[in-house]
Amino acid sequence: MTTAHSSIDRAEVAKFQAMAAEWWDPAGKFKPLHMLNPLRLEYIVTQIAAEFARDSSSLRPLEGLRLLDIGCGGGLVSEPMARLGAHVTGADAAAENIEIARLHAEQSGLQIDYRATTAESLLAEGGGYDVVLALEIVEHVADPAEFIATCARLLRPGGVLIASTVNRTPQSFAAAIVGAEWIMRWLPRGTHDWRRFIRPDELAAMFDAAGAPVVDRAGMVFNPLGWSWSLSPRDLAVNYLMTGIRR
């Protein structure tokens, strides 16, 4: 079921509600995100710093920027963004995720505006964010193109939209479903539906249609020998990130 005028897919939300208590367990069901997080943060900070002429090596390169983390889950990205100086709003449709995120932020001494809400509801309240993050969520929403359009409308002109998702390729089926769900059992079976994965050109077209042309894209490549992740400007076969700037 989907909610009218909403990007929310209730069945997809329910999957992550069921795992909410494990968000901050690096060996739990969100182990893949914990492994990816340093790479995601590196990319995000680099892209934001480039657009807003900030020194990405400084202690608080995001000082004063209004940042919205849509589909924030337990706050794995929201918290580092706040530590780097951003005024962070974290939004998630699963109330259980927000409860976990609020508790962890309080224990960490961080002030983050967490809300159990949707992108559409936030847009109805206004917008004007400097940065909107949509990480590992596009493949789980009911209408990806409309969701990206809503994210873009939440930005002020010149604002940065960064999304990450999974490509629809044989390699992604092998890695994200067979590997992560069936063999390694990092995630419960059925967490991902390969048919909902999005090719980079498809996502770029959504960005363009939303008025946020793409300025950068990069793959996140896993090395099983070194058990490590790296960014690649060419290999977007499985996980990838994309940045657009709102016109």
Task: Encode pLDDT of 131-157 as tens digits.
Answer: 999 999 999 999 999 999 999 999 999
Looking at the chain, the number of H-run helices and the number of E-run strands are 8, 8
Q: How confident is the model at residue 28 (pLDDT cuts 50, 70, 90)?
A: confident
CA distances from 238 to 10, 169, 171, 192 (A): 25, 7, 6, 13
Residue from 137, 135, 174, 131 nearest 155 by CA: 131
User: 175 with 222: CB under 8 angstroms?
Assistant: yes
CA distances from 149 to 4, 57, 210, 229 (A): 16, 32, 5, 30
Q: Say yes or no to pLDDT of 114 above 90.
A: yes
Beta-strand runs (E) in 78-237 = 87-92, 113-116, 129-135, 155-166, 214-223, 228-232
The model's pTM is 0.89
Q: Say yes or no to pLDDT of 2 above 60.
A: no
Secondary structure (3-state) at 145? helix
20 phi and psi angles, rounded to 5 deg: -55, -40
Q: How confident is the model at residue 52 (pLDDT cuts 50, 70, 90)?
A: very high
Q: How confident is the model at residue 15 (pLDDT cuts 50, 70, 90)?
A: low
Question: Residue 7: what pLDDT?
Answer: 79
Question: Residue 16: what pLDDT?
Answer: 63
